[in-house]
Structure 1
Amino acid sequence: MRSPSAQKATPVAPGRIPLLGHLPQLAVKRLEFLQSIRRHGEIVKVYTGTRPIYILNSPEAVHDVLVTQGSKFGKGLLFDVARPFIGNGIITSDREFHRCQRRALQPAFRRDSIAGHVDTMVDLAGEQVASWRPGEIMPMDTTMRRMTTAMLVATLFRTERPGGAAAVAELGERVAEHLATLMRGVFVGTVLPAPVARSRVLGHRRYLAAAAALRELADNAVREARGNPAGQGDLLSFMFAGTPDKPGGMSDVEARDELLSMLMAGAETTATALSWALHEIGRSPETGERIRAEFADRPPGTPIGASSLPFTDRFLREVLRLHQPNWLLMRRASEPVNVRGIELEEGAEMIYSAAAMHRDPAYFPDPLRFDPDRWLVDPRRDIPPGAYIPFAMGKRRCIGDSFAMAEMMVVLGAIVSRWRLRPVRTDRVRPLVHAMIRPSSLRMRVSLLRDR
């Protein structure tokens, strides 16, 4: 454990260039740069152009900002950039408004509510993987994005939709395309100065068009639900229900913003994690066999979860460690504050990287080795809070963490119970660090289990 002193100077990351700051490093080697500066201190200052940003490098610093002194920090620049695109939902909102919105949404993510969605998840995942063709080479990263978006649409917008699974899949595909464009725009707007980020060359108009299309889809879903209040158990029904904070429920605009937040947080992150999970199964066929056997041995009617699928749970925990999709999250000091001996002024912007934290050999021996069995004895008992944060922590911990784990288990079970996956040997899968850490290419050949 590192101990804070009373007050320390903030080291500046090496390689700063006049006017540009550390933008060249962030443009070329984003995650590698964040990992390289960890040795320079618990909190290190970098510059995006002339704008200073503090990097939180230790679990203790992350825990202090997110939990111990969490009330002294707001969401930060990343979320300011996202707000015009996706509104003031649970991702971007702050303080009392965020607390009220989270309280209204929380019942939708209780264990019993998630269990009520699992059958829908199973049906949709089964129908989608049944449409694959033996011998087909599939872009699994794109396939996972479409599948998870369709699943989120089906389970959170409405429990039933006209047109059935085909309509849900088609809507999910459109939403996935818009989300990918939107997230690129948010990332560009965060790391680059505003005049540069808004240039036509960087596709700013495409981002605006994608945001408008998503808002229209969400507005239509809200209007449809208002006009047909029969649906129960989906996210919108919880939004419209009254709470002590909002006896009349959310307004249409508030409900729309929350739908956009759920899509942005739930679909892209889960799809990226599943893509990396399939990559690891392709690299290690025996891992897929262990997951397949575990699903086959699960007694009928047993809830899907860590207790019934312990290896699958360990496997996903390791995916979220080694292949954490979120490499950059931010906070902003809402008042002067001392964090681990560093005095931060009001308005100071901070970055923390779960991806960098999860590869620290001080907490995860041989950190680049993928090993689900390292979780047989939960290392979180022996590491400080903040060292493993796949869903963040504190009052802003991801509200849909249990939903995401259930969804990933359902998708993996549907795939490995029917198909074998073989990577295309000519492809080299490497991480691409943009808004998230995605695989560069994930083409895989699928074959039915009975085919050898």
Structure 2
Amino acid sequence: MSSPPDRSALQVPGPSGLTLALTLRDFARGPIPMIEGLQERFGDVSRFRFAGNTMWQFGDPELIEVVMLRKAGDFIKDQITHELDDLVGQGLLTSDGELWRRQRKLAAPTLQRRHIQAYAEAMVRLTRAMIETWGDQADRKFHHDSMELTLRIVVKTLFNLEMEHEIDRIGRAVEDGMDAFHERVHTMWRFIKTYVDPPLQPVHERAVETLDDVLGDLIRERQRDQSPGDDLLLRLIQARDDEGHAMSDRQLRDEAMTIFLAGHETTALAITYALYLLANHPGAQQRVHDELDHRGGALGANAANDLPYLKGVAQEALRLYPPAWIVGREAAVDVKVGPWHVEKGDQVMIPTFVVHRNERFFDDPLRFMPSRWLDGLEKRLPRFAYLPFGGGPRVCIGNHFAMMELVLVLATILERYRVEDLSESVVGLDPSVTLRPKGDVPLRFVRRW
């Protein structure tokens, strides 16, 4: 005898009729209005059919925990993530199953706290080199600056190279390559299935080829010369699984590309949004300056602990403007998420941007308030109410690296400069693979001493 149908699947709130029309109107305005509209109209759970897919949105931390932790093995990466396959291959960001488990076990130790502390000096030094050119006052298109800075930092830490002669070529290739995939996601927003997969344009194909050439040369050179060093690439080359096997050349390329890109744009975005927020909140900025002025000793790997208010600024910027603004999964099997029956192939959206702005978890959620993090808020929050780096077994392995870099770059800039906002309106958002600003972010830096 067959089991009775799961009636809970028929009771899921979600758009239909007029509310579906409103949801599609929101979608036409952009993905953030859509996910905000779903949360506003239907609460923490919604489901709807569109373009051949069943779409779910889960905004409840308990349900998010089921998807990302307790039943993580029942979900795989979603369709939109696989739009990055042409660029990052089968690295940790896009792979699933046994390949992902093996690669995670090999790669994760390279970014443990004890290894990344050696990179603090380079982060500070490269940031100081950038601001040395600013003089007493500088008007900057700062997102461009932060992208170039984090590129230099990731090249140094991943390859132990300064590569001044290559930085422009690599920078253009990275920018063109990421633009290609932002463009593809804009075209499809492939949390929703479409039937045309736009091909890469020639400029974007050349960008991928350039990055492949550069990474290939660097990997081969490091394989030949394995002299001691602190670079991440050497640790990846020397990593061995339980059977003593190393990564293949292709796996090395894919993991290096994943670290290269994931450690570049996302951190640059966080730095940009943090400075933009401080420029618009002079009281908070003054408190950062006071904390820096009373700090003793040089900036180092423990800056996040030594500068609690500045760390709160970083956490608050990641709350309001999470670079990974949404997390996508696809059900690999039929699975229960709380009382809801999610069928194999259903697309699941975890709207980090919306969860981070939920008044159930954060007082006055739209307000920039770094001090909220100073009294143990993170420990009191539901486990998946704050997830700037994801969560569960697929949490970003570079989270400690990213937080150290974010605090050190902010501290290095703000100990010397005051920042002012030159934009004429609130920064617009351009969500795609990451939460980019719409256009650049014009900021003025005025020397403090």
Residue of structure 2 in register with 1:446 after alignment:
445
Structure-to-structure mapping, 1:309-328, within 5 angstroms: 309-328=307-326
Q: Describe the superposition over 1:355-377 as per-residue Cα deviations: whole angstroms up to 9, x where unpaired.
A: 11001111112111110111122
Percent identity, aligned pairs only, is 25
| 1:246–1:185 CA distance, 2 compared to 1 (3 A) | farther
Residue of structure 1 in register with 2:257 after alignment:
260
Pair 1:416 & 2:414 matched: yes
Residue 26 of structure 1 and its aligned partner are, at CA, apart by 2.5
| 1:168–1:120 CA distance, 2 compared to 1 (3 A) | farther
Q: Describe the superposition over 1:120-148 as per-residue Cα deviations: whole angstroms up to 9, x where unpaired.
A: 11111111111224433211111111111
Residue of structure 2 in register with 1:386 after alignment:
384
SS in 1 for 2:348: strand
Q: Describe the superposition over 1:325-355 as per-residue Cα deviations: whole angstroms up to 9, x where unpaired.
A: 2222211111111112111111221111111
State the alpha-carbon separation in 1 of the partners of residues 202 and 53 from structure 2. 25
State the alpha-carbon separation in 2 of the partners of residues 159 and 134 from structure 1. 32
Q: Is the 8 A contact 1:72 1:333 kept in 2?
A: yes
Q: Is the 8 A contact 2:189 2:432 kept in 1?
A: no
Structure-to-structure mapping, 1:324-335, within 5 angstroms: 324-335=322-333
State the alpha-carbon separation in 2 of the partners of residues 406 and 175 from structure 1. 26
Unaligned runs of 5+ residues in structure 1 are none
Residue of structure 2 in register with 1:358 after alignment:
356
Residue of structure 2 in register with 1:430 after alignment:
428
Residue of structure 1 in register with 2:283 after alignment:
286
| 1:423–1:303 CA distance, 2 compared to 1 (3 A) | same
State the alpha-carbon separation in 1 of the partners of residues 145 and 229 from structure 2. 29
SS in 2 for 1:25: helix
Q: Describe the superposition over 1:150-206 as per-residue Cα deviations: whole angstroms up to 9, x where unpaired.
A: 2111111x2234x5xx3475355335413431331452354365554516xxx7444
Length-normalised TM-score, structure 1: 0.89
One-letter identity of the residue aligned with 1:270: T
Residue of structure 2 in register with 1:61 after alignment:
63
Residue 408 of structure 1 and its aligned partner are, at CA, apart by 0.6
Q: Is the 8 A contact 1:327 1:354 kept in 2?
A: yes
Pair 1:210 & 2:207 matched: yes
Q: Is the 8 A contact 1:90 1:261 kept in 2?
A: yes
One-letter identity of the residue aligned with 1:446: F
State the alpha-carbon separation in 2 of the partners of residues 438 and 367 from structure 1. 21
Q: Describe the superposition over 1:19-40 as per-residue Cα deviations: whole angstroms up to 9, x where unpaired.
A: x996653241321221221241
Of 89, 95, 120, the match for 2:91? 89
Q: Is the 8 A contact 2:87 2:177 kept in 1?
A: no
Residue of structure 2 in register with 1:77 after alignment:
79
Of 113, 116, 126, the match for 2:118? 116
SS in 1 for 2:117: helix
Q: Is the 8 A contact 1:22 1:49 kept in 2?
A: no
Q: Is the 8 A contact 2:174 2:207 kept in 1?
A: no
One-letter identity of the residue aligned with 1:84: D
Q: Describe the superposition over 1:263-309 as per-residue Cα deviations: whole angstroms up to 9, x where unpaired.
A: 23221111111111010121123333332333343332564333211
Q: Is the 8 A contact 1:324 1:355 kept in 2?
A: yes
Q: Give the aligned CA root-mean-square deviation in angstroms.
A: 2.6
Q: Describe the superposition over 1:219-263 as per-residue Cα deviations: whole angstroms up to 9, x where unpaired.
A: 222122123222522111111114233624211111110111112
Residue 217 of structure 1 and its aligned partner are, at CA, apart by 2.4
State the alpha-carbon separation in 1 of the partners of residues 323 and 161 from structure 2. 30
Length-normalised TM-score, structure 2: 0.89
State the alpha-carbon separation in 1 of the partners of residues 184 and 259 from structure 2. 16
| 1:321–1:400 CA distance, 2 compared to 1 (3 A) | same
Runs of 4 or more off by more than 6 Å in structure 1?
15-18
Q: Describe the superposition over 1:404-435 as per-residue Cα deviations: whole angstroms up to 9, x where unpaired.
A: 00111111112112222222153542223233
Residue of structure 1 in register with 2:3 after alignment:
none
Between the two proteins, the alignment pairs up a number of residues equal to: 438
Q: Is the 8 A contact 2:48 2:56 kept in 1?
A: yes
Unaligned runs of 5+ residues in structure 2 are 1-5
State the alpha-carbon separation in 1 of the partners of residues 56 and 358 from structure 2. 19
Q: Is the 8 A contact 1:43 1:342 kept in 2?
A: no
SS in 1 for 2:388: coil
Residue 443 of structure 1 and its aligned partner are, at CA, apart by 0.7
Residue of structure 2 in register with 1:222 after alignment:
219
Pair 1:269 & 2:255 matched: no
State the alpha-carbon separation in 2 of the partners of residues 316 and 391 from structure 1. 13
State the alpha-carbon separation in 2 of the partners of residues 288 and 231 from structure 1. 41
State the alpha-carbon separation in 2 of the partners of residues 99 and 268 from structure 1. 25
Q: Is the 8 A contact 1:179 1:264 kept in 2?
A: no
Q: Is the 8 A contact 2:324 2:434 kept in 1?
A: yes
| 1:260–1:185 CA distance, 2 compared to 1 (3 A) | farther
One-letter identity of the residue aligned with 1:380: E
State the alpha-carbon separation in 2 of the partners of residues 136 and 402 from structure 1. 31
Greater shift, 285-294 or 409-418, is seen at 285-294
